[in-house]
A and B are shown apart, each in its own frame.
Chain A
Amino acid sequence: EVHLLESGGGLVQPGGSLRLSCAASGFTFSRYAMSWVRQAPGKGLEWVSAISGGGGSTYYADSVKGRFTISRDNSKNTLYLQMNSLTAEDTALYYCAKGFNDYPFDYWGQGTLVTVSS
């Protein structure tokens, strides 16, 4: 059974940084691209970033480009999102999802909440 478990969310001040993690199990992690998708309180879904199975290719939404860095450790079956220069607009529930380009988001974690506030 596929399982995705996010962690690392919390309260951070504007301009601060946070690193999210997503522990994956139940599938061959290194074979699949992985994504981060966020949802601001009461708002819709927004794709944030993705990384290829081997980690050699990364992709970002314009809203986070230059501030966020996605990475993965296939030996640990773990996906990461390093978030820098955070603003209030980054406040959201961040989901880890399996899939990206030619593969849909077929499995999702339960999300980790990031709150940017002073």
Chain B
Amino acid sequence: QSALTQPASVSGSPGQSITISCTGTSSDVGAYNYVSWYQQHPGKAPKLMIYDVSNRPSGVSIRFSGSKSGNTASLTISGLQAEDEADYYCNSYTSSSTRVFGGGTKLTVL
């Protein structure tokens, strides 16, 4: 199972919006609405930010939103804040009954 494709890095200034893409195939992202996004700060465990493509867990800021079109899912962060600087990973369930992560995207807040 190949990893989902994410950009290695993205950046934005405080207050701006950024979008991180996550491209898979018709066997994973395109087949199921079980796409989730995780935030990981250095030295910390990952934290669930978005699940089932576009749902936010309780306690996650409304600045975080998710969407999907075909085989590509996206995470958008609006009103960037310094605390958003972290690594972000997408994840999808697959037709092989496995889960696959993206390679990760490092977000830099300028």
Residue ranges of A at the interface with B (Cβ–Cβ < 8 Å) = 35, 37, 44-47, 50, 59-62, 95, 100-102, 104-106, 108-111
Q: Are A44 and B34 in contact (CB under 8 A)?
A: no
Cβ of A2 to closest chain B Cβ, rounded Å: 12
Number of residue pairs spanning A and B whose beta carbons lie under 8 angstroms apart? 59
Q: How many of chain B's residues touch chain A, expressed as a range?
A: 20 to 34
Decide if B24 is an interface residue (CB 8 Å cutoff).
no
9 A-B pairs with least C-beta separation: A104-B51, A44-B104, A104-B36, A47-B99, A108-B45, A45-B101, A106-B48, A44-B103, A45-B89
Given the contacts A44-B3, A61-B1, A95 and B45 also touching, CB distance less than 8 Å: yes
Cβ of A94 to closest chain B Cβ, rounded Å: 11
- Residue in B closest to A35 when the chains form the complex, CB atoms: B99
Q: Are B46 and A45 in contact (CB under 8 A)?
A: yes
Q: Are A61 and B98 in contact (CB under 8 A)?
A: yes
The one of B51, B93, B104 that contacts A45, using a Cβ cutoff of 8 Å: B104
A95 contacts which chain B residues (CB < 8 A)?
A: 45-46
- Residue in B closest to A63 when the chains form the complex, CB atoms: B1
- Residue in B closest to A44 when the chains form the complex, CB atoms: B104
CA distance A21 to B44 in the complex (A): 19
Best-buried of A44, A45, A105, A109 by chain B (most CB within 10 Å):
A45
Q: Are B101 and A44 in contact (CB under 8 A)?
A: yes
Decide if B38 is an interface residue (CB 8 Å cutoff).
yes
Decide if B30 is an interface residue (CB 8 Å cutoff).
no
Given the contacts A44-B3, A102-B34, A108 and B99 also touching, CB distance less than 8 Å: no
Q: Are B36 and A59 in contact (CB under 8 A)?
A: no
Cross-chain pairs A/B with CB under 8 angstroms, 14 sampled: A44-B87, A44-B103, A44-B104, A45-B40, A46-B101, A50-B99, A60-B98, A62-B1, A95-B45, A101-B97, A102-B93, A104-B91, A105-B36, A106-B57
Cβ of B45 to closest chain A Cβ, rounded Å: 4
Decide if B100 is an interface residue (CB 8 Å cutoff).
yes
Q: Are B48 and A101 in contact (CB under 8 A)?
A: no
Q: Are A109 and B93 in contact (CB under 8 A)?
A: no
- Residue in B closest to A102 when the chains form the complex, CB atoms: B34
Q: Are B104 and A47 in contact (CB under 8 A)?
A: no
A111 contacts which chain B residues (CB < 8 A)?
A: 45
